[in-house]
Structure 1
Amino acid sequence: MAHQIETAPGVHLHVEDEGSGKPVIFIHGWPLNEAMFHRQKQAVIENGYRYIGIDLRGFGRSDQPEENYIYDTFASDILAVVKELELEQYTLVGFSMGGPVAIRYAVKYAGEQLEQLFLLGPAAPSFTKRMGYSLGMEKEDVDDLMEAIDEDREKALQDFGGNFFYQDVSEEAKQELFDLSMQASKQATISAAEALRDEDLRDEAGHIRVPVTIFHGRHDAICEYGFAEELEQRIPTVTVVPFEESGHGLHVEEPDKLNDELLQRL
């Protein structure tokens, strides 16, 4: 079943809702959408859980407003979905940019119904270098990426996708990544990259009070493995599961391992 859920005046999110049992909410990365999780969706449903896949505003089949592509807005949209679907005792899964969005949600918006947090190659605590933090991209490089998207979005996203995988994945997997990326609006793609550049969750991460598991590719060239090690120092309730044969696309490169690890913890 698919829902169109209004999360703000004039903004409706596309939400996939399939299966039964305890809900598992999936939040995609930049600039993808919930369809990236189709390998996990099948495993979740077949093992007796309810799959909730949210297309963030501006991405996939959700509405594409002109503004408000910041972590706080994404997180408040998730809260609106949780309330509308009356979800209880759920797990939240965030991939890449969906990781810091999930952290923001867990700290600022989640009530006692959130049981645990899974972070997949999270772009957290900060996607870019800053004072006292040497990990991630230079802010200027994100500026260049935003400019490249504005000038030639197809080429910019193809170039970005070239860093997504460690393994030599199929052309079909590469095309899937590109196709999902192109379903986002150009404005959302640029504005969410700005949020990735500017947001800093180093202090926030320490306030998570539910169990957290981080699944991270050792060879991640987009959100380096050091992010997981940094979060491990900051989150009091964390477990890190390394993926030895994956880059950023661990859901494609080691899908069976990821599914097994997720299901063991649900």
Structure 2
Amino acid sequence: MGYFVTVEHGVNIYVEDINPEGKKTILFIHGWPLNHNQFEYQFNVLPAMGYRCIAIDWRGYGNSDKPISGYNFDRLADDVHVVISTLQLKDFTLAGHSTGGAISIRYMARYQGYGVSKLVLIDAASPSSIQKEVANTFITDTLNDRPKMLQGLTDIFFFQYITAPLSDWFFQLGLQAAGYSTAAVMMSLRDENVYNDLGKILVPTLIIHGIHDKVVPFNKAQETNKLIKNSQLVPFQYSGHAPFYEERDKFNQLLIQFIG
């Protein structure tokens, strides 16, 4: 079931809500520059096992409205909060990938983890920001030849071989965002970080990270693990930046075990 939640005047966030009657809820926050469909291989499994899976598209991405502003971590976390409040979610698991991990961390700090009983960080952009030179290259390429940028990103996203059709599907997810929002979130990644937020996270936290990640190096996960008191780090030995696909069976089983 898909619907929209208004997060501020003129800005509607798309919500995909699978198995609303599920006994335990997981709220998925996608990564840059994708949308909720990146979690297709979780939606194939988890709802059938009794979980309610909710996923949003950030503003500027996927099916959500695409305003020209509001792409800093605080505003993106505020959008998540409005969705959580509107849906009256309680005692749920928040799962964020890459930049979605950073947004999830900011949400936890900014709203004292309101409603969240467990946190899952998947190759999260944490704790420090991306190198400025790398970010600036992404921004320049986005504003000049976004399809080429997206193809190059797909090439470094995965450690394992993926088929050409899957690569094209992944590429198309990125194209669904607006160019200006794609650049704006990369500017936030360049200029902001969530280092000071990590000590404010008090719920049990599972950190999943591919050891071959070329986007967010594995040592970032080790540092995040040290800074979140009640956290465990599980390395994914055969994954790059996409363990939710590359080791999807292990990933899904680990989520089930962690959530209970």
Using structure 2 for the length normalisation, give the TM-score. 0.96
Partner of 1:70: 72
Deviation at 1:123, TM superposition (A): 0.8
Q: Does 1:40 align with 2:33?
A: no
Distance 1:249 1:117 in 2: 18
Distance 2:104 2:164 in 1: 30
Cα deviations by residue, 1:74-120 (Å, 9 ceiling, x for unpaired): 11101111111111111000000000100000111245521010000
Contact 2:26 2:54 in 1 (8 A): yes
- Mapping 1:61-140, distance limit 5 Å: 61-128=63-130, 138-140=131-133
Deviation at 1:12, TM superposition (A): 0.1
Partner of 2:164: 171
Using structure 1 for the length normalisation, give the TM-score. 0.94
Distance 1:123 1:111 in 2: 18
Distance 1:141 1:110 in 2: 32
Deviation at 1:217, TM superposition (A): 0.2
Distance 1:185 1:247 in 2: 26
Contact 1:79 1:110 in 2 (8 A): no
Distance 1:218 1:207 in 2: 26
Contact 2:112 2:200 in 1 (8 A): no
Partner of 1:225: 218
Deviation at 1:127, TM superposition (A): 3.1
Match of 1:195 among 169, 188, 192: 188
Contiguous gaps of at least 5 residues in structure 1: 129-137
Cα deviations by residue, 1:43-96 (Å, 9 ceiling, x for unpaired): 220111111110010000000000110111111101111111111111000000
Q: Does 1:256 align with 2:258?
A: no
The letter for the 2-side match of 1:64 is K
Displacement over 4 Å in runs of 4+: none
The letter for the 2-side match of 1:15 is V
Deviation at 1:159, TM superposition (A): 1.1
The letter for the 2-side match of 1:54 is I
Q: Does 1:143 align with 2:145?
A: no
Contact 1:23 1:49 in 2 (8 A): yes
Distance 1:239 1:70 in 2: 28
Partner of 1:7: 7
- Aligned-partner SS, 1:246: coil
Contiguous gaps of at least 5 residues in structure 2: none
Partner of 1:246: 239
Out of 166-175 and 95-104, give the one that drifted further: 166-175
Contact 2:157 2:213 in 1 (8 A): yes
Distance 1:167 1:185 in 2: 29
Q: Does 1:30 align with 2:32?
A: yes
- Aligned-partner SS, 1:216: strand
How many residues of Structure 1 are paired with residues of Structure 2 in the alignment? 257
Contact 1:33 1:60 in 2 (8 A): yes
| Cα RMSD (Å) | 1.0
Percent identical pairs in the alignment equals 37
Q: Does 1:155 align with 2:157?
A: no
- Aligned-partner SS, 1:14: strand
Distance 2:124 2:134 in 1: 19
Deviation at 1:42, TM superposition (A): 2.3
Deviation at 1:198, TM superposition (A): 1.2
